[in-house]
Amino acid sequence: MPQDQPDKVVRLSINAAGLPVPDQDPVQVKKDNQKVRWAADFPFRIEIDGYSDLQHSNGGGTHTCKTGYFADAKPYKYSIIANGNTNDPTLDILP
């Protein structure tokens, strides 16, 4: 069994058009041994098509959302919802 990888940390910002954007797209994650943690200085929600293991939290002015592990090596479309806008980048789950 491979050793767990550190969480993939994705920083979110709001671009000039008011859209929430990740600092990497696609986000590349190792199947079955890496989680994703999004972080921002503003409230946001993450929704992943066909995936529900998400934990949102807010502490000390930092908003985060963390996934569990991904069992399937495939791309997932996900949505970042913030500032009244939605952006739909990609998660790329690697074998």
Note the pLDDT tens digit of each residue in 43-77. Answer: 999 999 999 999 999 988 899 999 999 999 999 99
Q: What global pTM score does this model have?
A: 0.93
Domain ranges of the chain: 8-94
Rounded to whole angstroms, how far apart are CA atoms 58 and 21? 19
Residue range 8-94, CATH number: 2.60.40.10
- The residue type at 16: A
